[in-house]
Amino acid sequence: MEPPAPRRRVTIVDVARHAQVSTTAVSKVLRNAYGAGPDMRARVRRAIDELGYRPHAGGRGLRGQTYTVGVMLPDIRNPFFPEILDGITASLKETEYQVFLGPGCNGEKEEARVTEAMIDRGMDGIILIAPVSSRAHLERVASSVPTVVVGRHGTSPVYDTVADDDIEGASLVVGHLAGLGHRRIVHPPG
């Protein structure tokens, strides 16, 4: 018995024929662009559902957007990083964007490999969490794709930075401990 032939991928042309509209109309509905009325949108959405159409991510990337955000985590075992990831995914929940993860593994060579792969795949943006790479490398990445660096001090005119205020944090901790009556407060190195 021969295995069944692989099912052909549903295209925008198939959706247009099924909805009895032009491929331009389908494209406008998919991009939520001006020029597609409510009736046309409903017909196209119905055709998409009935046919099981999925836009081809590679094709979208050729037209300028992949609706993907790359997130590089240095160590997935660190319990702090999933909290950051939860915040990123929550903020993208009502959008078409998807998060793709890349393990940085706490090394410049691996971080470079991950960030270059994200750029090569046309990610619309990259979030680098606690990168160890040089500022020069981070600026090269940011010159190719919008980049946010999280958890690393120092600013750049090329990328955005999100970092905590270590001095204020230490002040709050010491103030809290002193408020509890502690007088011999030590911060061990490391």
Radius of gyration of the chain (CA): 24
Q: 86-144 pLDDT, tens per residue?
A: 999 999 998 888 999 998 887 889 999 999 999 988 899 999 998 988 999 999 999 98
- C-alpha distances in Å from residue 34, one per residue of 39, 77, 97, 103: 14, 45, 20, 39
User: Which residues are CB-neighbours of 62 under 8 A, at least 6 positions away?
Assistant: none
Average pLDDT over residues 61-87: 84
Q: Which residue has the higher pLDDT, 127 or 163?
A: 127
Q: How confident is the model at residue 64 (pLDDT cuts 50, 70, 90)?
A: low
pLDDT at position 56, please?
67
pLDDT at position 96, please?
83
Lowest mean pLDDT among 5-14, 54-63, 149-158: 54-63
6-20, 60-74, 125-139, 155-169 — most confident range: 125-139
CB atoms within 10 A of CB 170: 11
Strand partners, 146: none
Q: Which domains are present in the chain? A: 12-55 (1.10.260.40), 68-166 (3.40.50.2300)
